[in-house]
Structure 1
Amino acid sequence: MHTPVVFIDGDQGTTGLQIHARLQGRDDLRLLTLPEHERKNPQRRREAINSADIALLCLPDDAAREAVAAIHNPAVRVIDASSAHRTAPGWVYGLPELDEHQAEHIARAKRVSNPGCYPTGAIALLRPLVKAGLVPADYPLSIHAISGYSGGGRAAVERHESPGMVQAPTLQLYGLELAHKHVPEIQQHAGLSARPMFLPGYAAYRQGIVLSIPLQLCLLPGRVSAEQLQACLEQHYQGARHVQVMPLHHQGPATPLNPEVLNDSNDLRLALYANAEHGQVLLTAIFDNLGKGASGAAVQNLDLMLAALQAQG
């Protein structure tokens, strides 16, 4: 029986290294990587990608587009970890939990775009609520998220962890021009008609994201309650292996949210905090920006595609 060949293009970046580590020791695939002196050789990269059953692209956006354009073997399937194709026609969005059919779409797709780290949490919270009509598609949403500095890629990790390192700032907000590249992805895949406001930041720890979205109940249709929002998420993610929906937190003392609690996993933890007196709800998500926000999600999608290949014989 043919052992599927998986080629990682860009395996020396943060996401590529993590994917490589997650695939080590597996005997259900053959991992193809290029030696260091060939990694920037266009001809060798073309040969490698066209010889693979599945190619994982861990490249900057322009390089990812070039890699896809270089594919002439119609059998090659692609998982792109860049943001180049996340809103592109013809690409399947690589969030298996998006709806009840998404995992099957991913399994059979030729082209899969891996979700961005921040959009993973925002879409996981919003998509079920918008689809159910509990949150209007034109709600004036504000999304705030803090990531570990590894969200800045390999350069940021080396800057803060190499000898002579620069101390990471306690907290640094960015994207202050309110035009972050993740916004169209969030808007499209959450099913929003109005552009959300998105404010990200980095903090002085390595990895992990805490993301929050405030809601005013008086702006929701009818008399939507926190309990209805909670029930919607619980129903949507019932049986989801990698998504935990925590019990509803009502007004009162709450355990602080720790962005690092799911590090080195592919899990996503969703929780709602409600204050009935003031009619306010806070949607929250915690996950590893290098796990469910990047390499973990890529391997999850890869496993779906490998299972489909195996089923085909």
Structure 2
Amino acid sequence: MVIQESVVPTIFIDGEAGTTGLGIRQRLSGLPEVRLLSIPDADRKNPAERQKRMAEADLIILCLPDAASREAVALAAALGPDAPRVLDASTAYRVDPDWAFGFPELTAGQADRIRAATHVSNPGCYSTGAIALLRPLVEAGKIAPHTPLTINAVSGYSGGGRTMIEAHEAEGGPAFELYALGLGHKHVPEIEIQAGLSRPPVFVPSVGHFRQGMLVSIPLHLDTLPRCPTAAELTEVLAAHYAGAHEIEVSAEPIGSLRPEALNDTNRMSLRVFSHPERRHALLVAQLDNLGKGASGAAVQNVKLMLGLDG
């Protein structure tokens, strides 16, 4: 009797030199169930060499700017029947209906859609926190889709690209800064569509003088919401939605403050609802690692689903 060896799926990370790519490679290198392809530095921008690696891969992960991601998708598609499956970490396809949105906990059946998809778009870091808070409450009718919402968020500087990283790691770097003050941050369309909103939220991102970690917060006037829910009811909806989710916890533990760095180097996300009962104010907060559940960790979670390694 001939015993056939199991085939180990092969992955090529196109753009592995960046922060997200390096994080994905580091996490995947600990998985014996996959084989990683590499490309010499001199060939990283050579389309023919990149396409050669794509032809050898079962799955490619794109860690590139939007325009470069679209070019890479075209390179892969040109392979025809030999084209690999694609996981894209850019903003290019996050609202494309032909791509599965790579947030397995989004709604019932989303993990199965990711398993079956040939093309998956990895969520953004800020939007992961915002969507995780809003989507269940919109689906449950606790927040109307047209509700005017403001989202405030602070991230470690590692998510801001080389220029921002260099500015913060230089001596005397900024302690804190608001940015995207034109109110047109690239995550807004993704948040609006994937959270089930019909009105774009006001999104106010900021960066603190710490490398990684994130807090996303959404203030609410409870009396302006349908049927005037309590904070406890909002917590119950979130807890029910994420019951059984391994990476997301909903906590009702009383706490006086939150640190953005508390979940660093994990793929976990913590959701909380704070409130002032007399004023009928509430604050939704998501706490996560912008390089974990907000980027590389989420990508590896999607890789495992796409390659059937999540069991």
Q: TM-score range by the shorter chain?
A: over 0.9
The answer to whether 1:206 aligns with 2:207 is no
How far residue 228 of structure 1 moved from its aligned partner, in angstroms, is 1.1
Give the Cα–Cα distance (whole angstroms) in 2 for the partners of residues 288 and 3 of structure 1. 30
Superposition deviation, residue 227 in structure 1: 1.4
Query: Within 5 Å, which residues of 2 pair with 1:24-39?
Result: 24-39=29-44
3-state SS, counterpart of residue 70 of structure 1: helix
| Rounded Cα–Cα distance in structure 1 between residues aligned with 2:277 and 2:253 | 12
Measured in 2, the distance between the counterparts of 1:30 and 1:73 equals 22
The more displaced of 22-31 and 193-202 is: 22-31
Is the aligned partner of 1:131 residue 2:139? yes
Secondary structure of 2:307's counterpart equals: helix
Match of 1:50 in 2: 55
Q: Distance in 2 between matches of 1:257 and 1:170?
A: 18
Tell me, yes or no, if the aligned pair for 2:145 and 2:198 is still in contact at 8 Å. Answer: yes
Give the equivalent residue in structure 1 for 2:118: 110
What is the TM-score when the length of structure 1 is the normalising length? Answer: 0.94
The aligned residue for residue 277 of structure 2 is 276
Which among 14, 18, 21 is matched to residue 19 of structure 2?
14
**RMSD of Structure 2 on Structure 1 (CA):** 1.5
- Unpaired stretches in structure 2, ≥5 consecutive residues: 1-5
| Residue in 2 that maps onto 1:195 | 200
**Gap runs ≥5 in structure 1:** none
- Normalised to the residue count of structure 2, the TM-score between the two structures is 0.94
Shift of 1:28: 0.8
**Deviation of 1:159 (Å):** 4.1
Higher mean displacement: 262-271 or 147-156: 147-156
Residue 287 (structure 2) aligns with: 286
Q: Taking structure 1 as reference, are residues 151 and 25 closer, same or farther at Cα in structure 2, changes over 3 Å only?
A: closer
| Counterpart mapping for 1:91-110 below 5 A | 91-110=99-118
CA distance in 2, matches of 1:136, 1:179: 22
- Corresponding residue number in structure 2 for 1:307: 308
The 8 Å contact of residues 168 and 203 in structure 1, kept in 2 or not, is answered as no
Q: Distance in 1 between matches of 2:253 and 2:195?
A: 22
Offset at residue 51 of structure 1 (A): 2.0
Deviation at 1:248, TM superposition (A): 5.9
Q: Which runs of 4+ in 1 moved over 6 A?
A: none
Kept in 1: contact 2:100–2:119 (CA 8 A) = yes
More displaced, 214-223 or 133-142?
A: 214-223
**Contact residue 174 and residue 200 of structure 1 kept, 8 A:** yes
Counterpart of 1:119? 127
C-alpha distance in structure 2 between counterparts of 1:153 and 1:196, whole Å: 24
Aligned length: 303
Paired residues of 2:167 and 2:174 also in contact (CA < 8 A): no
**Alignment correspondent of 1:296:** 297
